Amino acid sequence: MANLILRDLVKTFDRTEVLHGIDLEVADGEFVVFVGPSGCGKSTTLRLIAGLEEVTSGTIEIAGRVVNNLEPKDRDIAMVFQNYAIYPHMTVRKNIGFGLRSSKAPRAEKEKRIEEVATILGMSDLLSRKPSQLSGGQRQRVAIGRAMVRDPAVFLFDEPLSNLDAQLRTQMRLEIKKLHQRVGSTIVFVTHDQVEAMTMADRIVIMKDGYIQQVGTPAEVYHKPANTFVARFIGAPSMNMIPGAVNGGGTLALETGGTLAFDRPLPEGRKVTLGVRPEDLGPGHDNPVIEGKVTVREPLGHETLIYVGTASGEVIAKADGRTPPEVGETVRLGALTENMHVFDAETGEALA
């Protein structure tokens, strides 16, 4: 078993509390991605798990034992850093084998393990090279290899793809996912890129200002965001937010005019925010929501994103790729009620 449990985890730097009681259970073999904007506490949480920072209060449990007071090396974890942290003065072989230095295994066994890892990562012919002779993707693989060679209970990844170009990032994303399927270890992955989170995670942990906003599968956080922050953070372009209020009879009156009938119960008289994803909002829909003039078109081939200036600001919608509305044209945008999200205007919490 290599599950990971965080209980009421608090971290304070000087007198500033940056994590305010994180509770999370990561199952054995699960791929969990922490995502959030800069300063949300995701990297701090990872560093606490790694033992690189001291826990102020709360407990961290790895594979059934509390590791708060254990040194990083004794926690049975391995970490891949944003800047790879592979040593420039050592060859790939030495870099990968570095994680085994403290191991008491016989030398032949260590060598065998290095070869195995190099084979898995497709780096067998690069073992005698120095990092300066490798590409960005290869360096990243060495960093992953160094983590793999120790066969840890939990892998920790701290924004490992941030320094790669877009194409390589997509490739490495896939490789890490395949690797996870192959080795089946527990992985905690930190990123600020919601696409990375969506494509790789079994479950996503969305953080903001040291609090967990929502934990769920990619589908859950996308289709059922817990609040406006999650709704805006997950999905690109961001969800459109249109202010309104709940009328009697459960109908929703938008500030821009128009009333929407909901089949879900809504608290009467409450000020709310209606959230609709751009991909769910489009012209020529049976259930119109808002009207405005097209200001910009972004053709993507199979579809075109249109930016529409409305009475409550600019909204983004999806139009047909072949016959999109012209710039300056007035369009009525609509969406299915089931694709609409209603949030409390004050707290931002999801209502329906």
Q: Which residues bind other proteins (CB under 8 A)?
A: 50-52, 71-73, 77-79, 81-85, 87-89, 98-99, 101-103, 146, 150
Decide whether 78 or 200 has the Cβ nearer to other proteins: 78
Residues in the chain: 352
Q: What is the DSSP letter of 233?
A: H
Q: By C-beta, is 33 or 96 nearer to other proteins? A: 96
Q: How far apart are CA 318 and CA 231, in angstroms?
A: 18
Residue 226 CB, nearest approach to other proteins (Å): 33
Specify the amino acid at residue 35.
Answer: V
| Cα 154 off chain centre by | 18
Strand pairing category for 251-254 and 240-246: antiparallel
Question: Sign of the CA dihedral 43, 219, 296, 289?
Answer: negative
**Alpha-carbon Rg for the chain in angstroms:** 24
Alpha-carbon gap, residue 62 to 251, rounded angstroms: 49
What is the helix (H) or strand (E) element at residue 160, kind and residue range? none
Shortest separation between residue 139's beta carbon and other proteins, angstroms: 13
Nearer to other proteins, 71 or 263 (CB): 71
- Spatial distance between the Cα atoms of 81 and 295, rounded to a whole number of angstroms: 42
Instruction: Output the six-digit token pair for 159.
Output: 């924004």
Of 41 and 99, nearer to other proteins (C-beta) is 99
- Smallest CA-to-CA distance from 163 within 133, 188, 187, 193 is with 193
| For other proteins, the closer CB: 72 or 137 | 72
Q: At closest approach, how far in Å is the CB of 131 from other proteins?
A: 12
Tell the smallest beta-carbon distance from residue 119 to other proteins (Å). 21
51 vs 325 by CB, closer to other proteins = 51
Calpha distance 103→197 (Å, rounded): 33
Nearer to other proteins, 95 or 228 (CB): 95
Select 54 or 338, whichever has its Cβ closest to other proteins: 54
Query: Residues 119-147, buried b or exposed e (16+ Cβ, 10 A)?
Result: ebbebeebbebebeebeebbbbbbbbbbb
Q: Which residues of 246-283 are buried (b: 16+ CB within 10 A; e: fewer)?
A: beeebebebebeeebebeeebeeeeebbbbbbbbbbbb
Q: Are 308 and 315 in contact (CB under 8 A)?
A: yes
Closer to other proteins by Cβ: residue 80 or 198: 80
Closest contact distance (angstroms) between CB of 77 and other proteins is 7
What's the rounded Cα separation, in Å, for the pair 344 and 346? 6
